[in-house]
Structure 1
Amino acid sequence: MTATPASIKRIYYVLTVGNTLAASLIWGINTIFLLDAGLNNLEAFAANAFFTAGMVLFEVPTGIVADLRGRRASFLLGTLTLAVTTALYVLLWHLEAPFWQWAVVSALLGLGFTFFSGATEAWLVDALTATGFDGQLDAVFGRAQVFSGVAMLTGSVAGGYLAQLTNLGVPFVVRAGVLVVMFVVAAVVMRDIGFTPDRGGRPLAEIRRIVRDSVDYGLRVPTVRYLMLAAPFFGGVGVYVFYALQPYLLKLYGDPHAYGVAGLVAAILAGSQIAGGFLATWVRSLFRRRTSALIVAQVVSVAVVLLMGLVASFWVVLALIVVWGLLNSATMPIRQAFLNGLIPSRQRATILSFDSLMSSTGGVVAQPVLGRVADVWSYPASYVVSGVISAFALPFLALARAQHTPTDTAVTTTGAPLPTPEADQPTAEAAAPR
């Protein structure tokens, strides 16, 4: 069957839905699951920090796997790794294992997710470009976010109530099963299009070349660099804000065993994600520059997180969660389209993985620190500190805007001119093949 932009988008949506459904089955109960296993707040969020540390450690190596061996191979490895490590999580919970074992398995869980980050998105952009797509990437990512939100809504509600009706381990078992199904689906429908993996030559030499080029077209490009430097502040804090909502809302609700309410948190964010996906194109139309939309959203997000800590009311916090979710969901496709327009195809998966690495780095530091703040003072205090930390992303977003990159205002980004090291305009030396 001949690939078309429509068929590529359908496959991408299917992969996105499957991955999100599997992941979201435990999103509403993950922190409660860790606390039920005998960990305290510091240990629970430290285990989450080891998960993000695993993402930091493996982001670039798995991005290189995607660039060398293919995006499809990376996706398949991700599904298998996540299925096995999810099963190990259930085993540790059953045995009430010591913290160090949670730390090891959490890091391996992070490895599984790094096979997805960058690779699936790079597969989409390369395949769309190869099949002649001339639409807006913002709209494609927005539509994917809608489908992902539906899957998250389904998975989070199902996971929360499944845990309430059975036990906290069952959603993890179901998640592993869904991942096995996704492995089979991807093996059948996913093919590398518009990108030919370089399986010849010396792997170490290829890795050095990819890393070098990724630095040249990543951190050495001012706009990309500033976007990445902002990521640890909003990304790292965002992970804590989401997972701390589970025990925090149960505390505000007054029933520590109402796991359905914990699942409802993820469901609300899923609904916000659906709405945000629909709103992404409209939000983009309100601003001439993509960076302007990102800055405004970050300012409001900082205020919302601060209010979550200052107003200790169950219903008010629920309303703030909706706003926070809408902000993130409506602007994420804008950031994705902007970033993809700044990087070349050959290094796309590695650079996108490096961007994810920067976000994960923030989570490694922020989660145990904020978890400790929650232990010593309270969850509301940890949210106030979270808001302050996330504000540090704003100067970097402003610097990205100051570069006046053409892709900041471009309608389409798949065919936009690519920036080069230390200048967002092409030079003959930087454009030469290596």
Structure 2
Amino acid sequence: MSEGTRLADASRENRVLVWKFYLYRATLSEGFVYPIITLYLLARGLSDGDVGLVNGLFFAGVVGAEIPTGYVGDKIGRRNSLIVSTLLMSVSMFAFTVSGSVPAFSAVYVFWGIALTFRSGTGSAYLYDMLEERLDTDEYSKITGRGGAAFLVTSAITSIAGGVLYGIDHRIPFVAAGFITASGALVLLSMPETEQYAEREGGSAFSARDAWETVREKFLAPELRTFIVYTALLLSIPELADLYIQPIVVEAGVPEQSLGVLYAGFMLVTAFASYNIDRVRDRVGIGGWFAVAPVLMAAALAGMLVEPWLAIPGFVGMRIVKSLSYAFRGQYLNDHLPSLGRATVLSTASMVYGVSFVVFRIGGGAVADAVGPKLAIVALAIAVAVLTQSLRLFSDPVRDAGSN
């Protein structure tokens, strides 16, 4: 971990680079489709179970491609891998407009998942390496949080537009999402590669054998293995719940044409929390956060079983927990990894998360078909809260690396 220049004292060049990172994060927004994607699938004839299936297959694509694409990121350079991801994800958005069956949507979701893997470990590794070279890695949580805020604010604005566009033609939001995602490639082209790849030393120095040794040594280390299982369980709940927010809030009385505004509200509140992530870390630390996050998640969601309208604040709370947990997860994992091979190990971790998300989305979708989405989500959230707290009795999932 570096002890370099803090963000407040950074040079103009490095401040501009950080702002470009925020702009890149903003282009990742798929806010045009967030408020309507489940409704779009249902309107195309899919059932609740089908929705869970195709979304589960998204993570099947993630699982299958994570390690190879993480290795590619370590070979060709972080920035180049991010550009590939951006272009492929744009294609996946356009593909939604010509799909109309379970097999077709299954293929689109698998392709979308593969596209994501080119950035899942690489994006985090790129930012952390840039901070090691130019600033201070202790700024990772703050910059990630503020980048997340940029993503969410953009998503809020485009969510409102997406709801309106959906009313005109169901396919237009996906076209708009494809174009805004593709624009991220232009932002990335204006950003530098990290030093070891700019000097052509990174990829040539990292063989497939090196990748295997790094994964075996780091991924199975005590400070990572319990943490990854713990956070995979925690983050599986919002990944499942996100599938059913739309039908649940419509059932609670929110008109379909207002979903864009509702999602915008979700994202703006979450953006405020994400922007202030450094304050959360200063007060409770990464270990303290993950000690309470599963319980907070379950408590936030449980209210909708009492009163339908409580689903709205419940989903806001869930999204805040999700956003902060992803940022703190990235800080913790990067703090425990070497630079060369970082993307490969992070992608291996993402593969484990993907397996968990596949199980929860497909299994949760089947449960939702049987007992309804609300009961399925709350029951699984409570089960995860109990299971994660039980894990803490045997091993602390967060181990000190001098930063938390």
**TM-based fold match above 0.5:** yes
Give the equivalent residue in structure 2 for 1:221. 221
Shift of residue 377 of structure 1?
Answer: 1.9
What is the 5 A alignment of 1:73-112? Answer: 73-92=80-99, 96-97=100-101, 99-112=102-115
Shift of residue 254 of structure 1?
Answer: 6.5
| Counterpart among 255, 273, 278 of residue 275 in structure 2 | 278
Question: What does the per-residue CA deviation read over 1:100-131, in whole Å, with 9 as the maximum and x for residues that have no partner?
Answer: 22212210110111111121221111112112
Measured in 2, the distance between the counterparts of 1:407 and 1:169 equals 49
Quick one: structure 1 residues 390 and 162, their matched pair in 2 at CA, closer, same or farther if it must change by over 3 Å? farther
Question: Aligned pair 1:348/2:349, yes or no?
Answer: no
Shift of residue 406 of structure 1?
Answer: 3.2
Structure 2 contact 300–313 (Cα < 8 Å) conserved: no
Measured in 1, the distance between the counterparts of 2:266 and 2:348 equals 26
* Code of the aligned partner of 1:229: V
Give the equivalent residue in structure 1 for 2:181. 179
Measured in 1, the distance between the counterparts of 2:336 and 2:147 equals 21
Question: What does the per-residue CA deviation read over 1:298-345, in whole Å, with 9 as the maximum and x for residues that have no partner?
Answer: 21112222333x22422x211222222223334433332222111111
Question: What does the per-residue CA deviation read over 1:33-64, in whole Å, with 9 as the maximum and x for residues that have no partner?
Answer: 11111111111110000111111111111111
Structure 1 contact 304–324 (Cα < 8 Å) conserved: yes
Give the equivalent residue in structure 1 for 2:156. 153
Structure 1 contact 370–385 (Cα < 8 Å) conserved: no
Measured in 1, the distance between the counterparts of 2:87 and 2:392 equals 36
Quick one: structure 1 residues 84 and 406, their matched pair in 2 at CA, closer, same or farther if it must change by over 3 Å? closer
Structure 1 contact 67–347 (Cα < 8 Å) conserved: yes
Structure 1 contact 26–171 (Cα < 8 Å) conserved: yes
Question: Aligned pair 1:311/2:306, yes or no?
Answer: yes
Structure 1 contact 90–173 (Cα < 8 Å) conserved: yes
Shift of residue 11 of structure 1?
Answer: 2.1
Give the equivalent residue in structure 2 for 1:32. 39
Shift of residue 384 of structure 1?
Answer: 2.3
Quick one: structure 1 residues 404 and 235, their matched pair in 2 at CA, closer, same or farther if it must change by over 3 Å? closer
TM-score by length of 2: 0.89
Shift of residue 175 of structure 1?
Answer: 1.1
What is the 5 A alignment of 1:186-265? Answer: 186-187=188-189, 189-196=190-197, 198-200=202-204, 206-218=207-219, 220-253=220-253, 255=255, 258-261=256-259, 263-265=260-262
Question: What does the per-residue CA deviation read over 1:107-164, in whole Å, with 9 as the maximum and x for residues that have no partner?
Answer: 0110111111121221111112112436532222222122122112112222122212
Question: What does the per-residue CA deviation read over 1:347-372, in whole Å, with 9 as the maximum and x for residues that have no partner?
Answer: 21122222222222111111122222
| Counterpart among 169, 190, 196 of residue 167 in structure 1 | 169
Q: Which moved more, 1:379-388 or 1:67-76?
A: 379-388
Measured in 2, the distance between the counterparts of 1:221 and 1:3 equals 39
For structure 1, the 5+ residue unaligned runs are 410-434
* Code of the aligned partner of 1:87: F
Any idea what SS the aligned residue of 2:111 has? helix
Question: Aligned pair 1:16/2:21, yes or no?
Answer: no
Identity of counterpart residues, as a percentage?
Answer: 22
| Counterpart among 112, 126, 137 of residue 129 in structure 2 | 126
Any idea what SS the aligned residue of 1:148 has? helix
Structure 1 contact 24–156 (Cα < 8 Å) conserved: yes
| Counterpart among 141, 144, 166 of residue 141 in structure 1 | 144
Structure 1 contact 222–400 (Cα < 8 Å) conserved: no
Any idea what SS the aligned residue of 2:276 has? helix
Quick one: structure 1 residues 174 and 132, their matched pair in 2 at CA, closer, same or farther if it must change by over 3 Å? closer
CA RMSD of aligned residues (A): 2.3
Structure 1 contact 236–363 (Cα < 8 Å) conserved: yes
Measured in 2, the distance between the counterparts of 1:51 and 1:144 equals 24
Question: Aligned pair 1:390/2:384, yes or no?
Answer: yes
Give the equivalent residue in structure 1 for 2:321. 327
Q: Which moved more, 1:178-187 or 1:45-54?
A: 178-187
Shift of residue 17 of structure 1?
Answer: 0.8
* Code of the aligned partner of 1:284: R
- Matched residues, number: 390
Measured in 2, the distance between the counterparts of 1:15 and 1:132 equals 19
Any idea what SS the aligned residue of 2:120 has? coil
Q: Which moved more, 1:348-357 or 1:117-126?
A: 348-357
Measured in 2, the distance between the counterparts of 1:134 and 1:216 equals 22
* Code of the aligned partner of 2:273: G
Measured in 2, the distance between the counterparts of 1:154 and 1:40 equals 29
Q: Which moved more, 1:360-369 or 1:126-135?
A: 126-135
Q: Which 4+ runs in 1 deviate beyond 6 A?
A: none
Measured in 1, the distance between the counterparts of 2:25 and 2:397 equals 33
| Counterpart among 100, 114, 123 of residue 117 in structure 2 | 114
